[in-house]
Amino acid sequence: MNSLLNKFDLAPFSKIKNEDFLPAIKNAIVLAKKEIATITENNEAPSFENTIEALDYSGEQLDRVSSVFFNLNSAETNDEIQKIAQEVSPLLSEFSNDVALNVDLFKKVKAVYDQKENLTLSPEQQTLLDKKYKGFSRNGANLPEDKKETLRGIDKELATLKLTFGENILAETNAYELHLTDKNDLKGLPEGALEAAAQVAKQKDKDGWVFTLDYPSYIPFMKYVDSRELRKKMALAFGARGFQKNDYNNEKIVLKIAKLRYQRAQLLGYDTHANFVLEERMSGSPEKVTTFLNDLLDKAKPVALKEFKELETFAKELDAIDQLQKWDSAYYSEKLKNKLFNLDDEKLKPYFKLENVIDGAFSVANKLFGLHFKQVNTIDTYHEEVKTYEVTDNTNNLVAIFYADFHPRKGKRNGAWMTSFKGQKIKNGVNDRPHVSNVCNFTKPTETKPSLLTFNEVTTLFHEFGHGLHGMLANTTYPSLSGTSVYWDFVELPSQILENWCFEKECLDLFAKHYETGETIPMEFVEKIKASANFQEGMATMRQLSFGLLDMSWHGANPNDITNVKTQEVLAFKNTTLYPDVPENCMSVAFSHIFQGGYSSGYYSYKWAEVLDADAFEAFQEQGIFNPEIGKAFAEHILSKGGTEHPMTLYKRFRGQEPKPEALLKRAGLL
């Protein structure tokens, strides 16, 4: 029996066999196609209900089965599941392409959209109508046949170029190694990094130590190795990826991608690629993003210059360095940080036993949002380590099911994330509550020691739990607007804001207790955590802003006159450089976020989200970090609303005004 062929509520993990997935997904696609056909073949006049709403409720079984499948592929995979994923992915993209290019369906959607002025729709329904219409129009549904053809051609070419861009970087990364056989060259490097490098050497049948341009090898090397010459060698190799005279050079590809994106935007009636992208962002326009970045730069720059001077003085005193170079940055910063704070993870970890930290996160959710978490052992899971909770409100109504999967194991990918096995929606008057999951990779307990978290892991847990609350407290009608289905530059608000509680004494007192003595974390440590979090914040901010400005320089204007990648980059960086330029290096040709991944015109989002979370958290600081009234307002206006209205509207309802950068500047010590 295939338990995924029929409807289910809780995912039936223990009954699922790997061979069930493919037939279940095929079956669900057939079902979804039928639901769409019901819409297109309807003889009645297209209405919001029979078209827009019906479209949003369609494909439910497909969503359920594929979310179970892809969540397992991330958290508990094996060769067989990975093989099935190779078969499933093309089926799913074929299906979604069929929907996106369905002319009959678009006709119906457009018919409803064209009469939107005469319809009586709630704000959520207006948003849904807009979203469904734009889902087609932004893919060219309104274009005449020949231009549609051009658009498909551009999309195809862009897909290939992005792929090649990534392959080139990978090839360049893999092609380089620094092989060392004299241990004296590696003075300064901690034991763990040495061992890892010896391991890499062994794998390559070599003596001594091998370092590569992969982050786990590259970062410690730049941070700790005393030899300035070797650091320089590594840094130059890293910065030259995609910029050398060989088959993997990305310069032409970067120019081509920028120009094709511009051409695509123009075809669809937008000024630039950034205008196209930002139409569906909280920020709204390239002008707003550029102003945002430059305003922050004005504030961060004087602090960054001061910090740079400090670092220069420090390096001069320590090693008589006259001119700091890029390859000195991580090295001297690490040394200066140690001198100033002397705060290592080992001192803090005993105060952060995993169970205590989880309880702390639950307490925060209880005080602010009136949630209760009860661990239950009757819910089916995909691994014995997964904990399950029933989440209820103050009147004992079920709010959500929460899964927590904390430890690394073979078959789980790296990192930490929030996901769900079932989204929230209201259908036929029934509020269907969500099944939300947090997956992390925290050190496992041993026989003698519980799982103790670093402070960074504590904030990670709160961060993912914040995303989790966004999913759990969702209260919308339509599935595609529920929970975390919000604009990209808004989605990190619920997660990042929750991290703030980790820095508050009042919150730490609840849970940060020594696992052996029960002693509450000393005030001195709390102060140090706060101070060290702002170490070199000016320089870090300026660096982030420089990447955002570089992104906008490629996507926020007509790129057709750009002929040289490096020249363009130097121009974009002119207000944000601290270190001398390295002519043989170039960042754009390896800037995967914007040329391979999905961050084009979106790099500013990192800072944008920080401004949001600091500004929103200030509301709590003003009224008390556990003030239930503010908690209620945050849940009501932000967490429960998902993407039902424009995020700026939601935000202003919570905060009374647009977010301002002052709170972030204050928190980061930049004022």
Q: Are 200 and 212 in contact (CB under 8 A)?
A: yes
**Whole-number minimum distance, CB 491 to Zn ion, in Å?**
7
Q: How many CB atoms lie within 10 A of CB 162?
A: 18
How is 385-449 classified by DSSP, letter by letter? T-EEEEEE-TT--EEEEEEEE-S--TT--SS-EEEEEE--EEETTEEE--EEEEE--PPPP-SS-
d(C-alpha 126, C-alpha 129), whole Å: 5
The catalytic position among 464, 492, 504, 618 is 464
Residue whose CB is less far from Zn ion, 420 or 495: 495
Residue whose CB is less far from Zn ion, 505 or 593: 593
Residue whose CB is less far from Zn ion, 495 or 644: 495
d(C-alpha 583, C-alpha 236), whole Å: 10
User: Residue 540: in which H helix or E strand, if any?
Assistant: helix 537-555
Residue whose CB is less far from Zn ion, 350 or 642: 642
**Whole-number minimum distance, CB 488 to Zn ion, in Å?**
11
**Whole-number minimum distance, CB 609 to Zn ion, in Å?**
8
**Whole-number minimum distance, CB 647 to Zn ion, in Å?**
16
Contacts within 8 Å (CB) and 24+ apart, 481-484: 481/124, 481/127, 481/128, 481/131, 481/642, 481/643, 481/644, 482/423, 482/424, 482/425, 482/434, 482/642, 482/643, 483/420, 483/423, 483/424, 483/434, 483/642, 484/418, 484/642
**Whole-number minimum distance, CB 417 to Zn ion, in Å?**
8
Half-sphere exposure (CA, 13 Å, Cβ side) for 5?
7
Burial 631-656 (b: 16+ CB within 10 A, else e): bebbbbbbbbbbbbbbbeebbeebbe
Residue whose CB is less far from Zn ion, 495 or 576: 495
Tokens of 629: 């009234």
Residue whose CB is less far from Zn ion, 250 or 495: 495
464 is catalytic: yes
User: Residue 320: in which H helix or E strand, if any?
Assistant: none
**Whole-number minimum distance, CB 470 to Zn ion, in Å?**
10
Residue whose CB is less far from Zn ion, 437 or 495: 495
The single-letter code of the amino acid at 195 is E
Instruction: Give the position of tokens 């130097």.
Output: 570
Query: Which positions touch Zn ion (CB under 5 A)?
Result: 495
**Whole-number minimum distance, CB 443 to Zn ion, in Å?**
21
Please state the three-class secondary structure of 489-530 as a single string. CCCCHHHHHHHHHHHCHHHHHHHCECCCCCCECCHHHHHHHH
**Whole-number minimum distance, CB 386 to Zn ion, in Å?**
21
DSSP secondary-structure letter at 636?
I
Tell me which residue has its CB nearest to Zn ion. Answer: 495
Burial bucket for residue 505 (CB in 10 Å: 0-12, 13-18, 19+): middle
Report phi then psi at 402, rounded to 5: -120, 125
**Whole-number minimum distance, CB 60 to Zn ion, in Å?**
26
**Whole-number minimum distance, CB 464 to Zn ion, in Å?**
7
Number of DSSP helices (H) and strands (E) in the chain, helices first: 27, 9
d(C-alpha 314, C-alpha 330), whole Å: 13
Q: What share of residues in the chain are helix, strand, coil (percent, to 5)?
A: 60, 5, 35
Residue whose CB is less far from Zn ion, 495 or 541: 495
Residue whose CB is less far from Zn ion, 477 or 495: 495
Half-sphere exposure (CA, 13 Å, Cβ side) for 27?
14
Instruction: Give the position of tokens 């709403």.
Output: 53
Tokens of 43: 């003889």
Tokens of 369: 């949002």
Residue whose CB is less far from Zn ion, 302 or 415: 415
Catalytic residues: 464
